[in-house]
Amino acid sequence: MNKRYFAADEADAGERVDRWIAGAAEDLSRSVVQRLCDDGAVFADGKAVAKNYRLRGGEELAVEVPDAKPLDVVPQDIPIDIVYEDDDLLVVDKPKGMVVHPAPGNWDGTLVNALLFHCAGRLSSINGVIRPGIVHRIDKDTSGLLIVAKNDFAHNLLAEQIKAHSFTRIYNAVVYGGFSTGEGTVDAPIGRNPSDRKKMCVTERNSRPAVTHYRVRERFTEFTDLELRLETGRTHQIRVHMAHIGHPVAGDPVYGPKKVIARLGGQCLHARAIGFIHPRTGEYLEFTSGLPAYYTAFLDSLRGDHP
């Protein structure tokens, strides 16, 4: 049993406990916290509380996270591009089209299946039996870098950096339209779309703060190539923020225009750089990934090299 402790401030009075803990712990989703509440594993000042408990402010909160169950996900010998690896973590360059962790409809062939084989099962258990080692994720059709923890010590310290916004994440994306300025920031909270729970949207209701900084790299007639730096890491953050300001990511079948650029096979979005303080050595490490072929081919077509 892994017991986690949190302290609520006076300013947190009135917040639902499930929402507050999910916001305080990047590695525990709200649905997971709700299940733990239902199991009597969430406590305020030593007393078990329901998921709809409202904080009074100043409580000491504790969450009992069960030990990981034996993993049913099958290790598979799938080639993966490992940029860096040591005894605590590894950085992987994920190709477009690869799902990060098993889910309905994708129970094998995922990055987790490949990691279980490569690491011989030696991965952190904090995110449960389906997402071992996964500190943060990128979407199936987003290519690029993500970090994987081999143990809970590394996972916790990396998650703390993400929560503190000290984790460097830089993306490249081709988006629709032009920009009058060379750079800018989108500061708009993101939550579930009340009309479609599979989608996210900019909303003030049941949302979390989200900040994306962008800089123009290259301009085209109908598109712009951007560099984007994440200050926060919400689900679909770049895709939602770009669509919100009228510049959806090219090829995005969810947040883009109905007429999708099919040859892109999904959003033209690449996680190009990742930087973090190594949890054991304290050294700052940063890694980069070159633009993949699908991305450079699209840029060439926009430049007129391949009409």
pLDDT in tens, 100-119: 988 767 778 999 999 999 99
pLDDT of residue 307: 41
Kindly state whether residue 218 falls inside one of the protein's structural domains. yes
Whether the CB-CB separation of 24 and 12 falls below 8 Å is answered with no
195/182 same-domain check: yes
149/217 same-domain check: no
pLDDT of residue 238: 98
Domains in the chain, number: 3
Enzyme catalytic residues: 139
Closest CA to 243 of 231, 229, 256: 256
Distance between CA 69 and CA 80 in Å, rounded? 26
245/198 same-domain check: yes
Sheet holding 60-65, edge to edge: 2-7, 60-65, 42-44, 47-48
What radius of gyration, in Å, describes the C-alpha atoms of the chain?
Answer: 20
* pLDDT tens, residue by residue, 17-60: 999 998 887 667 788 899 899 999 999 999 999 999 999 999 99
297/219 same-domain check: yes
Domain that holds residue 105: 81-164
pLDDT of residue 70: 52
Kindly state whether residue 196 falls inside one of the protein's structural domains. yes
Closest CA to 170 of 227, 218, 95, 209: 227
Distance between CA 208 and CA 187 in Å, rounded? 11
Kindly state whether residue 250 falls inside one of the protein's structural domains. yes
Distance between CA 140 and CA 129 in Å, rounded? 19
Distance between CA 102 and CA 108 in Å, rounded? 6
104/151 same-domain check: yes
181/296 same-domain check: yes
pLDDT of residue 28: 79
Q: Which two tokens stand for residue 130?
A: 């389906």
Q: Which residues of the chain have pLDDT under 70?
A: 1, 26-27, 68-71, 104, 305-307
CATH number for 156: 3.30.2350.10
**Cβ atoms < 10 Å from Cβ of 249:** 28
297/206 same-domain check: yes
259/176 same-domain check: yes
199/296 same-domain check: yes
